[in-house]
Amino acid sequence: MTFGLALIVLAAIYALHPQNGKRFYKIGALNAPAGPIKWLDIKSTDRWGKVGATFAVIVTLATGAFIYFSVARGQSLEAANLRYLPFILILAAMNAFTEEAVTRLSVVTALDGRVSRPVIYVASAIIFGIPHFFGMPGGILGSLMAGFLGWLLAKSIAETEGLSWAWFIHFLQDVVIFGGLFLANL
């Protein structure tokens, strides 16, 4: 149902902003230049191939640690639960697409050229971070983690002019989260 809603949102945003839709509704340039961010040590010479891969690993490890300590610590991995792996992968792929479409791709597409990109990134961080207070990961730490991810992935969409890095990084997070919930003997 949410996947269908995401498609409706994307269609509406595309109808309202077709030029930006043509720019952002695609895979994007996987190795596009990355805008420098000093506090993250992203230099003006860095490209999204390196930045995306680095953050895919860092954010996935951080999410894994969070899920382990908040959900899976002390639980055992049951071999019988491996039957859920295909479901976990499908659910992660669809959830990542749905959340990226609604909280980032549509935001970047609607706002790019109308407000500054840093404002777009913060808007995406807020839209994504606040609901995670009650989600997974949850609480203040979960909201901050999700907010950072929202900011970073909106930046990836804007700079690569596509969804690839945002979807891929989000997909990895969802595999870890759903894996922690389904594979542990909870």
Q: What is the pLDDT of residues 173-184, one digit of tens each?
A: 999 989 888 876
Q: What is the pLDDT of residues 42-55, one digit of tens each?
A: 999 999 999 999 99
Element holding 113 (H helix, E strand): none
Q: Where in 35-75 does DSSP place strands (E)? A: none
Weakest-pLDDT range from 6-20, 101-115, 132-146: 132-146
Of 97, 100, 109, the C-alpha closest to 161 is 109
**Distance between CA atoms of residues 95 and 175, nearest Å:** 10
3-state SS class at 77: strand
The pLDDT assigned to 60 comes to: 96
Weakest-pLDDT range from 63-67, 69-73, 153-157, 158-162: 69-73
The pLDDT assigned to 185 comes to: 57
What are the start-end ranges of the H helices in the chain?
Answer: 2-16, 18-24, 48-67, 85-100, 106-111, 117-129, 139-160, 164-183
DSSP class of residue 81 equals G
CB 60 within 8 A of CB 92: no
Q: What is the pTM of this model?
A: 0.92
Mean pLDDT of 13-37: 97
Radius of gyration of the chain measured on its C-alpha atoms: 17
Mean pLDDT of 141-159: 95
DSSP class of residue 184 equals B
